[in-house]
Copies of this chain bind each other. A is one copy, B any other.
Amino acid sequence: MTLAFDPIEEAGRNWDAHEWGATAAMKAATALTRAHQIVQSRIDTALAPLDLNFSRFEVLALLSFSQAGELPMGKIGDRLQVHAASVTNTIQRLEASGFVERVAHPDDGRAVLARMLPAGRRVAREAAGALAAIEFGVDGLASGARARVHRDLTGFRAANGDFS
């Protein structure tokens, strides 16, 4: 279903006509939402054949980059900025796929380590290739636009306390 006009521009005209205010902000926020949906959908499509979605891939990538190939659950949640319950769910899914295992933390009886298994390391590399091949879904952004968006959104994230 492709519309013959930009629904965001149409919404902007209506927004103005009704004097609802902040039209430019509305258009920027809505464009951001739509663009995100497109990117996410393309990424998930590329990862589906590998029995992964983006969340699960992010966990595998994080474990790939860690020294020992293992991290406590909480650390994973902090880094990926997702809720602890979501981490539990994601790790269970990865465990069911045979990509990670859960082991007790040696020094802290409360903590659980997620540890990468060989199949996980293999699929992570493969998934990275699949994502690079589709340019993370943003090949529709020329390199200039890509850098601008990255820079502007990084400033936005900083302004909103995403990191400091």
Q: Could you tell me which A residues sit within 8 Å of B by CB distance?
A: 1-8, 11, 14-15, 17-18, 20-22, 24-40, 42-43, 54, 61, 64-65, 78-81, 125, 128-129, 131-132, 135-141, 143, 145-150, 152-164
Chain B residues near A33 (CB-CB < 8 A): 36, 39-40, 54
Check A28/B163 contact, CB under 8 A, given A1-B78, A20-B132, A81-B1.
Answer: no
Give the number of copies in the complex.
Answer: 2
**A34–B162 touching, CB < 8 Å:** yes
Which 10 residue pairs of A and B lie closest in terms of their CB atoms, listed nearest first? Answer: A140-B159, A21-B132, A22-B132, A29-B136, A36-B36, A14-B65, A20-B128, A25-B136, A145-B152, A31-B153
Quick check: B2 and A164 within 8 Å, CB to CB? yes
Contacts of A157 in B (CB 8 A): 6, 31, 34-35, 38
